[in-house]
Structures are given as C-alpha cells and as structure tokens.
Amino acid sequence: MTYCYVCPHRCGVDRAETMNSPNGIFGSCGCGMQPIVARAALHMWEEPCISGTKGSGTVFFSGCNLHCAFCQNYEISCLNKGQEISVERLKEIYFDLIKQGAHNINLVTATHFTEAIIASLQEPLPVPVIYNTSGFETVDTIHRLKNKIQIWLPDLKYSDDLAAIKYSNAPNYFNTATTAIKTMYKQVGPYQIDENGLLKSGVIIRHLLLPNMLENTLRVIDWIADNFEPGQVLFSLMHQYIPCGRAAEYPEINRVVTAEEYQKVEQYLFNSGIEDGFVQEDTAASADFIPIFDGTGLSLVDKDFIILYYKNIIMNIERTLERMKN
C-alpha cells in the first residue's frame, strides 16, 4: 500500500494502479499510478532556447493537480483524455523523439506520475530533460528528481492566493510555488546556454497574464526581481491567454487580455531590472497554438513489419517491370 503525498495537496490516498483498477482511490489529480499520455511530438512553440530549430520533444501527460478553470489543455488536464502506457513504453517514446531530432525531452505536467517518471529516467538521456510544471510542487518531490531533471520550467501563476483558490483549487499557492522555484534553482544553478542558443540547464519561470489581474502579475515580477540576480534565471511573460475550459463561468476572465493591460505589464517588466527572458507577441493569443491531443507518438510501430511491407512492394514492382520487358 502506497499513500500519495507527491504534490502539495498531500491527499494521502492509496491510489489505484490504473484508471480501471477495482482497487485504490483517486486523489486530487483524478489519476491512477500508471502514466496517461495524450501526445508525444516535436513542439516548436516553446521559448526559442527550448524549441530551437528542430523542436522540443514534448510528452503531454493527462490529469493535473490544479485543474485550472481556464486551462488551454482542459481536455487532458481535467477530462483525462489520453492513453495509459507502461514505463517501458514511456522510455521508448523518449528515444523515438530523440531520433526525430528533439533538442530535449519536455515532460508536461508530470508530477502526479512522479514514480513512473523516476523509473523512466533511471538511465540518463543524451539530451536535457525539462520538467514543465504548474509550480505547485513539494520540496520533497523536487529533491527526488535531482540529477534526473536538467531544466526546470515552472509557472508562477499567482501572487494572489485567493485567485489561486478560486480558479485553480491551489491553497497557499504563492508560498508553495516560490519555495519550489527556489529549490529548483538551488538544484541546477544559473542557466547555461550552449553555442547553438539552446538551454542546457537552469530555470525558466513562466507567468501567464490574465485579464483583470494586473496586480497579480506585477507582484510576480516584483518577487522575481527581488529574489534573483541577472544571469541566474530566465523569465517568460506569456501573452497567450484565451478563454478555455470553464472560463465562461467567470465573467471577469472570459475575455482576452487587452493591449492596454499588456502594455502596462510589459513596461513594468522593462523597468523591473529583470534582464533575462522572453515576452510574447499578441499573436500568441490564438487557439492555433494549442496542440491537438490525438494520441500522436504513442502507438508502437512494428519496424520489422514496415521493412517487410516495403520490401514486398519493391519486389512486386521489380516483377512487374520484368514482365513488361518480356
């Protein structure tokens, strides 16, 4: 019996092994222990130092410990759309992506599958591993991932704890996430970029600007400026919010961010002393950039069958050509 305390909700339940298991209990994440994946593919829409020229090898896990009302990946984070796979298949997926040219392996919202992640990374990969997270993490889980994760990619969604509870069911979010981010930084140190402009190790802190929540964003910027020196972490201010999921239930966030809101935040950022990072253009606020969660990259490919298939095609063509000669 294993009681789950892997995330700050600390549900303490004996989680089911799979979604169809007759035994066990589902906690805040709503998932069993076996990883559920919705998509595994090269992704070109991360920060330039992550996507590079060939793409980031993203593995989108289903389920989440936050269930943000406005999540752009709502169908997988809250509705658990995806396919259960084994740890062995997960490892194969990493190498499938690397063979396709992935600059890194990008684990998106994987905390509730920490046990499987640790098992899948027993052997080091030849590319950096990115842990793409909501920021709602425990120090214990971060410590357990030491030497397995080279790049931490946490959100710092809220400085406003009431908003965190209202929209994401995340009590004490700001203290929890900032403590986690400091722990991540202590683990990997100042960011390192190689000669090709690709991130080798470090921390990128992301923040999504929400409508009607300027103060929330300004306090996030203040915290980063107060706690990190230039050259230590990267900050990514995201301007990609569009109402998704259950955003329509909250009229105050059921719209895109206005140009005036973004300009105020951008100017505040430029005056903050934060020198290292990224800002998005307003064109990023589009559903066109939301991945299609159709199971891409999950199916096993029988390479021997494919080779035999094409050999037979070639053989038939050769026979046809031979008959034509005669």
pLDDT in tens, 221-250: 999 999 999 999 999 999 999 999 999 999
Q: CA quadruple 10, 13, 14, 18: dihedral positive or negative?
A: negative
Asked if the model's pLDDT at residue 285 lies above 70, the reply is no
Residue 8 and residue 138 in contact, taking contact as beta carbons nearer than 8 Å: yes
Using DSSP, state whether 238 is helix, strand or coil.
Answer: strand
Q: Determine the Cα–Cα distance for residues 106 and 57; give it in Å rounded to an integer.
A: 6
Q: Using an 8 Å Cβ cutoff, are 136 and 7 in contact?
A: yes
Q: How confident is the model at residue 291, as a pLDDT?
A: 85
**Alpha helix (H) residue ranges in the chain:** 48-51, 74-77, 87-99, 114-120, 139-144, 161-168, 173-188, 214-227, 259-270, 303-325
Q: How confident is the model at residue 91 (pLDDT cuts 50, 70, 90)?
A: very high
**pLDDT of residue 321 exceeding 90:** no
* pLDDT at position 303 over 80: no
Element (H, E) at 10: none
Sign of the alpha-carbon torsion through 26, 175, 187, 167: positive
Please give the share of the chain, as a percent, with pLDDT higher than 90. Answer: 83
Question: In the prediction, which pLDDT does 23 show?
Answer: 87
pLDDT above 80 (res 210): yes
Q: Would you state the pLDDT for residue 24?
A: 87
Do 274 and 265 form a contact (C-beta atoms < 8 A)? no
CATH topology of domain 36-325: TIM Barrel (3.20.20)
pLDDT band at 310 (very low <50, low <70, confident <90, very high): very low
Judged by average pLDDT, the poorest of 39-53, 125-139, 310-324 is: 310-324
Task: Say whether pLDDT at 286 is over 90.
Answer: no
Predicted pLDDT of residue 282: 72
Instruction: Compute the distance between CA of residue 297 and CA of residue 279 in angstroms, rounded to an integer.
Output: 30
Confidence of residue 315 (pLDDT cuts 50, 70, 90): low
Instruction: Return the CA Rg of the chain.
Output: 22
* 256 burial level (CB within 10 Å; 0-12, 13-18, 19+): middle
Average pLDDT over residues 168-172: 97
Identify the pLDDT of residue 1: 54
